[in-house]
Amino acid sequence: MAVIAVFNQKGGVGKTTTCLNLTAALARAQRHPIALDMDPQGHLSLACGLKKATDPDAGMLAFFKNKTPLTKLLRDTPAGWQIISSSLGLSKIDALYGSDPKVATLLKQELRLDLALTGAPIMIDCCPMLGVLTLNALLAADRVLIPVSADFLSMQGVYRLDAALNVLEEKLQRTFERRIVLTRFDPRRKLAGEVFDQLKSRYGASVCNTRIGENVALATSPMHGQDIFTFAPHSPGAADYRALMIELGNSGFFDAGKLKEPEPAKASSDVPPVVQKPAFRANGSANAASMSMSSQTKH
């Protein structure tokens, strides 16, 4: 089992879209993933077509507030994979438990006890705020996936986030294996290529070669409560997320154990354009509170 935290503090970068569609891609590859919606906005729960729980204390809130085992909180999505939903009540967790240092490891302990035997990849849609929820997700995670939209401000946000993770690594004496994926990429825009090249220059092969193109279907599918593979299986967006799942999967990103050595860094001129071929079909196979926000960056 690998636990992957999908995280970025900046909004509009495709964090929830990436968590939704990577989870769906893993499900179609028969990896039986489990998603945790830890963003109080509950966008992942909404985007996958989950009906609102009648109990306001259901989902992840029940875990933190009532210590309900995670296995009892799993719900099936219309697409067939499982999720533990979010609710607006999660926004109260910082106020309730922010002063208790033990709360930061609650999720890590429970995942190892409750869901480890499933062997399923765990995908966490993180809260964009640095607090108890995000710290729980990061401490529980083996790896961090950072979606970044192809613009200047998002790139600056990555630098700050990378610095914050470095500070946390020093405090915890552990490493967060991380990957950066460029989203909302438009090959017609010169800036998009420049952002990709600068990220590659700074972070090397930690930047995925697969880029997620700007695509109407990706923006529209959550309105229908569907992932991209259900909503528009032959769209460029579906092809992009399938390619991303394969690239990450080939490196062992979704498996327990050490990642394989990544491929050497490539400039945008050496990388094929955003995937435009048809996506795989439904039956096709594939393949925090205390965290410092230092403005330091690597190198």
Residue 296 in domain:
no
pLDDT digits (tens, 9 = 90+) for 257-270: 766 655 544 444 44
Where does the pLDDT of residue 298 fall: very low under 50, low under 70, confident under 90, or very high at 90 and above? very low
Residue 64 in domain:
yes
Contacts within 8 Å (CB) and 24+ apart, 189-198: 189/150, 191/150, 191/151, 191/152, 192/150, 192/151, 193/268, 193/269, 194/268, 195/148, 195/150, 195/151, 195/152, 195/154, 195/155, 196/150, 196/268, 196/271, 197/267, 197/268, 198/155
> How many structural domains are present in the chain?
1
Residue 134 in domain:
yes
Whole domain around residue 211: which residue ranges? Answer: 3-270
Residue 277 in domain:
no
CATH of the domain at 59: 3.40.50.300
Residue 185 in domain:
yes
Residue 279 in domain:
no
Residue 280 in domain:
no
Q: Is residue 278 predicted with pLDDT exceeding 60?
A: no
pLDDT digits (tens, 9 = 90+) for 155-179: 998 999 999 899 989 988 888 899 9
Q: Beta-carbon neighbour count of residue 172 at 10 Å?
A: 11
Residue 219 in domain:
yes
Question: Do residues 245 and 218 touch, judged by C-beta distance below 8 A?
Answer: no
Q: Is residue 281 predicted with pLDDT exceeding 70?
A: no
Q: What's this model's pTM, rounded to 2 decimal places?
A: 0.85
